[in-house]
Structure 1
């Protein structure tokens, strides 16, 4: 892993950790995974329906960081964790009671 890719991984983890705090405030369970050689990701789990999950990535694109759903759906800018958390929650709240 190059110094640049290590720094990008660390920055991705930082963005995902901030998003995790927002999602926990919405009562979601979160699991951050960061394995060597793989893109860090945040699994978001609806506690009312544990099989309902989304995997979120933080990736740099043209100098800006963005949150993405694992199926390549762009959520929003990583600097705006509140809006990103609300968008993710709206996807997972569909069956939440």
Structure 2
């Protein structure tokens, strides 16, 4: 018996939990997750943000992946830790 595919929303909700634990601000919508960088002690202006989506990747036989708002693949939807590390890397301001 084949496993049922997990809907994109479920993957995004699990990613939200991981990112919330890392102090990112998140907002989960029907088909996307807005991720806003945590405010630093000396940061008073706008914070970096991205809208992450989850959809199949053709080159990986339709397997679910997280994607940036500029349509760049992040990692597979099963790799929550990897996704959080990558997202943190591009949203965290560098000194």
The normalised TM-score by structure 2 is 0.78
The structural deviation recorded for 1:84 is 0.3
Residue 45 (structure 1) aligns with: 36
- 1:60 aligns with 56
- The structure where helix makes up a greater share of residues is 1
Separation in 1 of the partners of 2:88 and 2:49? 10
In the alignment of these two chains, the number of paired residues is 84
Tell me the TM-score normalised to structure 1 length. 0.77
Q: Give ranges in structure 1 of 5+ residues lacking alignment.
A: 1-6, 35-39
- Residue in structure 2 matched with residue 31 of structure 1 by the alignment: 27
Superposed CA offset, 1:17-61 (max 9, x none): 010011011100100111xxxxx0000011316531111000012
Match of 1:86 in 2: 85
Greater than 6 Å deviation, 4+ residue runs: none
Q: 1:51, 1:92 → 2: CA distance? A: 8
